[in-house]
A and B are shown apart, each in its own frame.
Chain A
């Protein structure tokens, strides 16, 4: 039982390049999330998927797209990377049967955009 896995662990991009961050969970959770963590800002929600087949914007969606490929996988795509997207990205999942259900996080992807 691996929980939530993310690939890659670390990536360096040049401005304008594109890339996809992959996330998978093996806990049969309905909901999945993408966050970014920046110094002094905590975790900010980029996009979430309440259930397979649905996606919705979070606090900071601009410059990102997502795909809920199936119940297990939720990818985050940067079409044209910008230095402002340098951050640590966390994927999370949860089974929202009740309010306050905790989220399970992956180990993160550290992205540097030059």
Chain B
């Protein structure tokens, strides 16, 4: 049972346009969400996070939106750049201690120049 789902394995976007990566979750107890970015042959790196008390968090070109009633979050990248081409993972800590984090399967973003 995947508690964090990224249903789009890949996404292709033109440089300068908006990239929207989606993530759905099933566990209403999740109260914090993170996005990680991963380049080939490297480990994931933290990108942006959001607490369940907020519905939006912005950091430069990256904005994460949270819709708790729909159990859905999305990562917007505006404008998209070729260097944004990577795999993006949505993640949520599963316990109050935060030691167990559930990751989605990832979405591979291609930004075309």
A residues engaging B (CB < 8 A)?
A: 4, 31, 33, 35, 40-45, 48, 50, 56, 58-59, 90, 92, 94, 96, 98-108
Contacts and interface: CB of A to CB of B under 8 A. Distances in A.
A56 B95 CA distance: 14
A92 to B, nearest CB: 7
A42 B104 CA distance: 5
Main secondary structure of the interface of B (DSSP, over half): loop
A107 B41 contact: yes
Nearest to A106: B43
A42 B105 contact: yes
Contact of B46 (A43, A45, A102): A102
Contacts of A94: 98
Nearest to A41: B105
B12 to A, nearest CB: 18
Interface in B64-113: 89, 91, 93, 96-101, 103-106
B15 interface: no
